[in-house]
Chains A and B, each alone.
Chain A
Amino acid sequence: KQEVTQIPAALSVPEGENLVLNCSFTDSAIYNLQWFRQDPGKGLTSLLLIQSSQREQTSGRLNASLDKSSGRSTLYIAASQPGDSATYLCAVLPSASGTYKYIFGTGTRLKVLA
Chain B
Amino acid sequence: NAGVTQTPKFQVLKTGQSMTLQCAQDMNHNSMYWYRQDPGMGLRLIYYSASEGTTDKGEVPNGYNVSRLNKREFSLRLESAAPSQTSVYFCASRFTQYEQYFGPGTRLTVT
Contact = CB atoms under 8 A, between A and B. Distances in A.
Interface of A: 32, 34, 36, 42-46, 49, 51, 89, 91, 98-102, 104-107
Contacts, number: 51
Given A34-B99, A42-B105, 4 more contacts: A42-B104, A91-B43, A101-B45, A104-B43
A39 B95 CA distance: 24
Contacts of B104: 42-43
Interface of B: 4, 31, 33, 40-45, 48, 50, 56, 58-59, 90, 92, 96-105
**Most chain B beta-carbon neighbours within 10 Å: one of A44, A45, A105:** A44
**Most chain A beta-carbon neighbours within 10 Å: one of B42, B50, B56, B96:** B42
Given A89-B43, A100-B48, A49 B102 contact: no
B100 A46 contact: yes
Contact of B103 (A32, A43, A51, A98): A43
Contacts of B58: 101
Contacts of B4: 43
**Most chain B beta-carbon neighbours within 10 Å: one of A45, A89, A100, A104:** A100
Contacts of B101: 46
B69 to A, nearest CB: 19
